[in-house]
Every structure is written in C-alpha cells, then in structure tokens.
C-alpha cells in the first residue's frame, strides 16, 4: 500500500466530500481558471469560493499562482492517487461479496423468467 499520512488522506477525502469542490475540480481538469471563473457557476460569494479553494489547496489538489492581480488555479490530481490506493486495498473485501450478490441476482432473474407451468412440474 502507498505510504501516506493520515492527515494527508483526511484532507483529500474532505476536499472530495463536497459536491461543489468536486465540480470545481472537474472544471479545473479541463483548464486552469481564475478564482472568479471558478466561482462563477455557483451561487456563492468570492469569499465562499476562496474557502473551498483553500481547502483543496491544503489537500494538495489545487496549485494557485498569481498573475498580476489575478489568482489562477490549476488541478494537481496526484494526491488523489493515495485515496485510490487506500480504496484499492479494501477492494479485496468487497469484490467477493459483490460477486456472490451478482450470482444470487442472476439466479433470481432466471427463476423469475421461468414460465409458471415449468415451475409447477418440478
């Protein structure tokens, strides 16, 4: 498993937990944006957007640099890797259970699609 600190992983998951922040990250995946451009589609003040951005910066998901008086944000997806590795480690516990569930559902589906007469003859 990848080496990471608990605090780093907490910051990444906290940043990703909010739908507004996820939407901001999705937009940044396409291009770098100013704070104003990043806040524009959301019904929030620049101060509120700045709080979201600071949280994502603390998680390492956003790099911000200043061009004149404009703060430009850029996606840094690398910290998400630790979160993916953490989830991948636990995948071994849920995958077999999902396989069993799939088999049960397929069996139930076959039983439900069997005509009534065929079921009565058994």
pLDDT surpassing 70 at residue 116: no
Averaged pLDDT for residues 74-80: 95
Tokens of 86: 């953490």
Query: Would you place residue 68 in the very low, low, confident or very high pLDDT band (cuts 50, 70, 90)?
Result: very high
Q: Which domains does the chain have, with CATH numbers?
A: 1-113 (1.10.10.10)
Instruction: Say whether pTM exceeds 0.85.
Output: no
Are 80 and 12 in contact by the 8 Å Cβ rule? The answer is: yes
Cα 65 from Cα 72, distance rounded (Å): 5
Element (H, E) at 12: helix 6-16
Averaged pLDDT for residues 14-29: 97
Tokens of 43: 């019904």
């Amino acid at each position: 498993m990848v080496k990471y600190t608990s605090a780093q992983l907490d910051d990444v998951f906290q940043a990703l937990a909010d739908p507004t922040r996820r939407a901001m990250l999705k937009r940044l995946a396409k291009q770098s944006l100013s704070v104003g451009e990043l806040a524009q589609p959301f019904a929030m003040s620049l101060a509120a957007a700045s709080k979201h951005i600071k949280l994502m910066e603390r998680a390492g998901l956003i790099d911000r640099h200043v061009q004149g008086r404009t703060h430009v944000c850029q996606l840094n997806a690398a910290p998400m890797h630790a979160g993916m590795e953490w989830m991948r480690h636990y995948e071994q516990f849920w995958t077999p259970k999902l396989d069993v569930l799939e088999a049960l559902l397929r069996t139930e589906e076959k039983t439900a699609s069997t005509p009534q007469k065929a079921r009565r003859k058994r």
